[in-house]
Structure 1
Amino acid sequence: MADIIYTKVDEAPELASASFLPIIQKFAAAAGVSVSTKDISLAGRILATFPEHLSEDQRQPDDLAELGKLVKTAEANVIKLPNISASVPQLVAAIKELQSQGFALPDYPEAPSTDAEKAVRAKYDTIKGSAVNPVLREGNSDRRAAVAVKKFAQKNPHRMGKWEASSKTEVNAMAGNDFFSNEVSATLGQDETMSIVHVGTDGTETVLKEGLAFPAGTVVDATFMSAKALSAFLDDQIARTKDAGTLFSLHMKATMMKVSDPIIFGHAVRAWLKPVFAEYGEEMAALGVNPNSGMGDLLERVKDQPAIMAAIDKVTAERPPMYMVDSDKGITNLHVPSDVIIDASMPALIRGGGKGWGPDGNECDCNCVIPDNSYAPVYDETVKFFKENGALDVTTAGAVQNLGLMAQKAEEYGSHPTTFEIAADGRVEMRLSDGSVLHSHTVEAGDIWRSANTRKAPIEDWVQLAIDRQAIEGCQAIFWLDANRAHDAELIKYVEPILAAKGVADKFQIMSPAEATVVTLKEITAGRNSIAITGNVLRDYLTDLFPILELGTSAKMLSIVKLMQGGGLFETGAGGSAPKHVQQLMEENHLRWDSLGEFCALGESLKFLGQTRGNAKASVLGKAVDAATQGILDNDRSPGRKVGQPDNRDSHYWFARYWAEALAAQSDDADLAAEFTPIAQALADGEAAIVSELAAAQGAAADLGGYYRTDAAKTAEVMRASPTLNAIIG
């Protein structure tokens, strides 16, 4: 196994890797550090799942499973780039592309009927949504802005929309009968094996899941969302939006919550087209329409049905305008479930002064519909705060760091195997091995029931991580836990005794997410820092919300996972806008993806390697990475957004140059200084040629040989467009 594993992923970050990885390998080799890749891309995971359908030369190993073993060891040093958390439409599109490339994969069975189809569907379902992160995150999360990045953002503030007290933008969530209100939770006193059983109104029992084994101390939750309550809520919100004259916007996480949220998304599509489904529901079903796949798929399936299309047009004219993903192309909020991801869409809307883009191409206030009330209050309080106080002053704002409980599939993100759309009225029970019932809910057909768990060791590790970080920072530190929520109340039973035993209870506060949001916003508005200590979902949401407000992007965060067995996982930031970046590259050969997250992760990875392996040269390389990153920021070498401006490839040239210059100038290792002095000189001497060659590559369409699985040679030709730079790097 190589010293550092650099993950092969998808979309813009993978394209950037074609340019950046050769630079990393060249420089790392000077310290005797090997860097290799493991494929966790959507296409790679699909191919690894179906070896029996492929020829011998087409097969590839299950790299995700291999990395899953590695992260449970002290030797792990993994740089993880953002990968696709696939929705069904993305999964289907990737399968079709691979089939067109000669891979004899089975189709994705949308409605499996035979045992063979059900088996294929079950294998594909393991790839959907957040299939990667729970496997690799064998530790808790430490996310914060690098000091250099934060200072740069304060000196060079990004554009912030203006908030008005009169803004009509609001956040609305269900008032009850949702996951939040129906949650029950218990901490196991001993090791347990349990099953999930549906008991029909006639007494018929159906085992939904069995053999669930949990160690003593595990917090086990169960909850459900009422389908009837959800439908009524959506109907009400559509009417409310029209009355207010705002944009209807649904904000979900249909990628990470790959079972529950696509179903909720489908309810929204049904609500929006309610009269159409009432009149043509059977015909659309016969055409293969599945509202969970979104309006885009629906419209494609009914486009040759004039009566249905006319009915859709009629309903659309009667509805309020909708928040648009791409108003120029008519792509709406409800087109594809993976297009609008709450942790990216809500911060962007808030950064923009509460405005979203409407179908007319103009900005407008929005009704932000977030059905479940578990975390909606965070966004609600944020919107209210900025209405009252105006937009955040980026030049003086403090920073919010995050310590997230996520190890061993903690909380909701680990609930995929135990989430079910209920087939019939009755009761769902979680039964212990002795037959007693741990949790029970009365449910109706169509309700969404789920269970999640959080284990003792990750909880204790998370609290200790918070204690360590607060001691380093000395700033405000808040556990975002709601004593009135069942799951959080169980976590508080762990947190309070640990803090007391360590003698640091006075250093921390415990608040509901709504309360913590307001207190934290006041703190950073005053220019002070705060540490948000949160569960898994809030970790995801807050490490987009605050960085997007503070820095303009979440891709520039240090994201360190301290693996529980002693290894390190270094994440490189969010990839939410990556699809648009790829589209731009393919159309005009300009990649605006910013690799600053990769730079930050690389530096941390090398320094960690130096510390854990006793490799002093690796430590020198890591420190020089910090200097190179500072050079990128100080000299404004990040990619521009428009064709003709310097792009991702230019930023890699400048990073390599600053890195080489820092190594040549350092005094800690004479051998490294001697080795990189001529490289630094060559990069400086080649500036005019390199910049010119990279600029000349832009403007025309770029052929990558695919989207989900690009052709390696074609991608290298596009992303390594400077012969001069290539000759220096090798």
Structure 2
Amino acid sequence: MSDATKPTASTIIYTLTDEAPALATRSLLPVIAAFAGASGVNVETRDISLAGRILAAFSDRLPAEQRRDDHLAELGELVTMPEANIIKLPNISASLPQLKEAVAELQADGYDLPDYPDEPATDAEVEVLARYASVMGSAVNPVLREGNSDRRAPAAVKAYARNHPHSMGAWSPDSKTRVATMTDGDFRSTERSVTVADDDSLSIRFTPTDGEARELRAPVSVSAGTIVDGSLMSAAALDEFLTAAIARAKAEGVLWSIHLKATMMKVSDPIMFGHAVRAFFPGLFAEYGDVLAEAGFNPNNGLASLDAAINNLPVDARTSVESALAAGYAAGPELAMVNSDKGITNLHVPSDVIIDASMPAMIRTSGQMWGPDGESADTLAVIPDHSYAGVYAEAIDFCRANGALDPTTMGSVPNVGLMAQKAEEYGSHDKTFEIESDGVVEVLDGAGDVLLTHQVSTGDIWRMCLAADAPVRDWVSLAVRRARATGAPAVFWLDETRAHDAALIAKVNAYLGDEDTEGLDIRTMTPEAATHFSLERIVDGLDTISVTGNVLRDYLTDLFPILEVGTSAKMLSIVPLMAGGGLFETGAGGSAPKHVQQFVAENHLRWDSLGEFLALGASLEHLADSTDNARARLLSTTLDDATARVLEEDRSPSRKVNELDNRGSHFYLALYWAEALAAQAEDAGLAAVFASLATQLAEAETTIVDELNSVQGNPVDLGGYYWPKPQAATDAMRPSATLNAILDGFS
């Protein structure tokens, strides 16, 4: 990053992403720019959308007018600097089907991008594959997260949930919903761990039973004190488990659903998803597996791609395959549905059912999912790896025994998450491999000594995960600070019988000794015990800080918020960067595709930008503290007031067309924010500036709301899903000429 492009300490970087959050940005950003600009705060944007990342990856192959700077790489530099102040909206963590769809859309729009090479045969295709791999899965988060996570429900959000409780399904003691998980042959049971003493370069070596040893990738640099894990998922054990789970669901008369994280665990989980597809239709694959493969079907991509493959077959073969598919459906249990009306099942695409969103939704709705008949039913939730499956099993058992939780009285479970510098499993994509034949995988240090070793078989999934020492130390310190600030117990969710956790526990105990913990309740519990402890306290209205690793952080910051406040999008997510800057995340985007579908059909965007409001408030507070900018602090405090008013006066987006949507919510935020700034007494000059804006907005309220609502009910053509036409998207998201004139005139 050059000095010319380096933001100042008074600059907030607002990220442009995908789907509903990206549409919402086109409406909200003009409000933010107007208010910030009048207060001496600079707001800049950087594009980290999936399409933007694809174009940046191939920019050298495109004509000058189509090239895109690599904004993600730029931000990756910025987060290591104290000036960093970034608001990060949810982006698509692309599965392979999503990547291919985005590439096809860009190609149709005139971008000369190469096709994704499923089976690269040349050096050029290998290079193309590597470029596409760099933008898939959680390509964004590990780059930006140079700090650990502090995630919690703001007071205004918690108060609103108590005063306006969301629906919670009733639980029956007779519920047959259960979690099915492996006990052997999975990542948890095969994990081995070592802590390296010195800076080193580690090699991952695979030696086939009947072949020569070779390195699976370039050596991996690690710093002194890094925890290094190796583990595998046995293909044979996985298949045996899936087959048994299918039979169990059939026998118990419950729905069958598999819950993975194929978008983030972009190597391992699509493969496991493919195993599930094969296990559910054993007859189909036994008889027609080779035929379907030749027709282009890859089970890892789900049943959505099966129709295209079937259409590539001769008529006679097509009829036989369709009969075998129907027989497979009939022989197995009923599948949980993503969309019952459209016949979209749990096995449609790997990115449809994401564990951290799907499991909390199930627990919130009586432990049930939707069946083929459009009715909800008890479900066998299939979670192959048992590292954290027990968390969900414990939550289900607790609700079965005690009934649904009560949002009007329940406590909270904020989280301090270890995620800096690609800590733990989410940083393992480039160190995860599907094993091609029987043999041995070893991790060797720079001197050639073997640190870890696993016997592997054909089709096994092997991975290495890392957690550097500095992020662990920072994580422990952050947990202590949050415990002292809140007075709540801080629980490290770690299991001493797990190899990785045992190594972490040793570090936690050592680094707690460097902290002032007098008077604090800090303890270590297994994930299952910590779940039960936290739920018992929640029922009593008490808060408990969960202190967890990266994947469990992601799971818990959906599980508890969805139960507490109805959605994880309403959480305040702060990442205090280790270099002194701040990254402010705006909540989950898992429902964003459905929001876009409704918007395109009805011109109604139900995306709630509350997460953006909260992140902006925290970002402004950070800027005020780091630059001693009194006006930025006033912007922050008055924004908090405006956000609370949006909630209390029910100005959040409705789910129904022809009612207030995302755009209307932004208008009311602007009105309430301007009124709060006009009313504050700390800065008379700023109050005068915003008094005029507040008056204009208030006088035009009826006109503006009518203009925003009157466009609803008709389809919208954005010119693209992953790469919408800029003017079309802007026009759609700013349909009020009156509001536009007021904001643009104020700016």
Corresponding residue number in structure 1 for 2:645 = 631
CA distance in 2, matches of 1:5, 1:270: 45
CA distance in 1, matches of 2:278, 2:656: 38
Residue 400 of structure 1: SS of its match in structure 2?
coil
Could you report, residue by residue, the CA deviation over 1:319-354 in whole angstroms, capped at 9, with x for unpaired residues? Answer: 111111111111110111011110000000000010
* Cα offset, 1:504, TM superposition: 2.0
Could you report, residue by residue, the CA deviation over 1:303-334 in whole angstroms, capped at 9, with x for unpaired residues? Answer: 45221112101111111111111111111101
Q: Decide which of 357, 361, 366 is 2:379's aligned counterpart.
A: 366
Paired residues for 1:369-518 under 5 Å: 369-504=382-517, 507-518=521-532
2:509 is aligned with what amino acid?
E
Residue 209 of structure 1: SS of its match in structure 2?
coil
Q: Decide which of 275, 282, 292 is 2:290's aligned counterpart.
A: 282
2:331 matches 1:318: yes
**8 A Cα contact 2:204 2:219, kept in partner:** no
Corresponding residue number in structure 2 for 1:157 = 165
2:67 matches 1:53: no
**8 A Cα contact 2:95 2:350, kept in partner:** yes
2:653 is aligned with what amino acid?
P
Corresponding residue number in structure 1 for 2:344 = 331
Corresponding residue number in structure 2 for 1:348 = 361
Residue 35 of structure 1: SS of its match in structure 2?
strand
Corresponding residue number in structure 1 for 2:678 = 664
Residue 335 of structure 2: SS of its match in structure 1?
coil
Corresponding residue number in structure 2 for 1:560 = 574
Paired residues for 1:204-283 under 5 Å: 204-283=212-291
Equivalent pairs counted in the alignment come to: 730
Could you report, residue by residue, the CA deviation over 1:427-469 in whole angstroms, capped at 9, with x for unpaired residues? Answer: 0000111111000000001000000000000000000000000
| Unaligned stretches of 5+ residues in structure 2 | 1-6
Corresponding residue number in structure 1 for 2:177 = 169
**8 A Cα contact 2:95 2:137, kept in partner:** yes
1:5 is aligned with what amino acid?
I
CA distance in 2, matches of 1:228, 1:254: 20
CA distance in 1, matches of 2:286, 2:417: 44
CA distance in 2, matches of 1:521, 1:647: 34
* Cα offset, 1:204, TM superposition: 1.6
CA distance in 2, matches of 1:501, 1:458: 15
CA distance in 1, matches of 2:605, 2:704: 17
RMSD: 0.9
* Cα offset, 1:203, TM superposition: 5.0
CA distance in 1, matches of 2:671, 2:431: 50
CA distance in 2, matches of 1:112, 1:358: 40
| Unaligned stretches of 5+ residues in structure 1 | none
2:727 matches 1:713: yes
CA distance in 2, matches of 1:173, 1:261: 15
2:639 is aligned with what amino acid?
V
Corresponding residue number in structure 2 for 1:107 = 115
2:653 matches 1:645: no
CA distance in 1, matches of 2:288, 2:124: 31
CA distance in 2, matches of 1:345, 1:119: 35
Paired residues for 1:22-33 under 5 Å: 22-33=30-41
Paired residues for 1:41-190 under 5 Å: 41-190=49-198
TM-score of the superposed pair, with normalisation by structure 1: 0.99
2:27 matches 1:19: yes
* Cα offset, 1:502, TM superposition: 2.7
* Cα offset, 1:111, TM superposition: 1.8
* Cα offset, 1:503, TM superposition: 4.7
2:522 is aligned with what amino acid?
F
Could you report, residue by residue, the CA deviation over 1:481-514 in whole angstroms, capped at 9, with x for unpaired residues? Answer: 0101000000000111222343527621101101
Residue 341 of structure 2: SS of its match in structure 1?
helix
Corresponding residue number in structure 2 for 1:300 = 308
2:716 matches 1:702: yes
Corresponding residue number in structure 2 for 1:681 = 695
CA distance in 2, matches of 1:432, 1:688: 69
* Cα offset, 1:202, TM superposition: 2.7
2:46 matches 1:38: yes
CA distance in 2, matches of 1:273, 1:127: 32
2:691 is aligned with what amino acid?
T
Could you report, residue by residue, the CA deviation over 1:200-231 in whole angstroms, capped at 9, with x for unpaired residues? Answer: 11352121023211111000000001000000
Of residues 314-323 and 672-681 in structure 1, the stretch that sits farther from structure 2 once superposed is 314-323
1:171 is aligned with what amino acid?
V
2:620 matches 1:606: yes
* Cα offset, 1:114, TM superposition: 2.0
Of residues 75-84 and 272-281 in structure 1, the stretch that sits farther from structure 2 once superposed is 272-281
CA distance in 2, matches of 1:659, 1:226: 56
CA distance in 1, matches of 2:420, 2:570: 23
Could you report, residue by residue, the CA deviation over 1:641-664 in whole angstroms, capped at 9, with x for unpaired residues? Answer: 011111000000000000000000
CA distance in 1, matches of 2:37, 2:201: 49
Residue 408 of structure 1: SS of its match in structure 2?
helix
Q: Decide which of 592, 596, 603 is 1:582's aligned counterpart.
A: 596
1:399 is aligned with what amino acid?
S
TM-score of the superposed pair, with normalisation by structure 2: 0.97
Residue 30 of structure 2: SS of its match in structure 1?
helix
Could you report, residue by residue, the CA deviation over 1:405-443 in whole angstroms, capped at 9, with x for unpaired residues? Answer: 000000000001100000110100001111110000000
CA distance in 1, matches of 2:516, 2:88: 36
CA distance in 2, matches of 1:686, 1:501: 58
Residue 36 of structure 1: SS of its match in structure 2?
strand
1:517 is aligned with what amino acid?
T
Corresponding residue number in structure 2 for 1:693 = 707
2:349 is aligned with what amino acid?
V
CA distance in 1, matches of 2:419, 2:252: 39
**8 A Cα contact 2:424 2:466, kept in partner:** yes
% identical equivalent positions? 57
1:687 is aligned with what amino acid?
E
CA distance in 1, matches of 2:197, 2:264: 30
Corresponding residue number in structure 1 for 2:737 = 723
2:133 is aligned with what amino acid?
D
CA distance in 1, matches of 2:381, 2:392: 9
Residue 180 of structure 1: SS of its match in structure 2?
helix
* Cα offset, 1:613, TM superposition: 1.1
2:558 matches 1:540: no
2:48 is aligned with what amino acid?
I
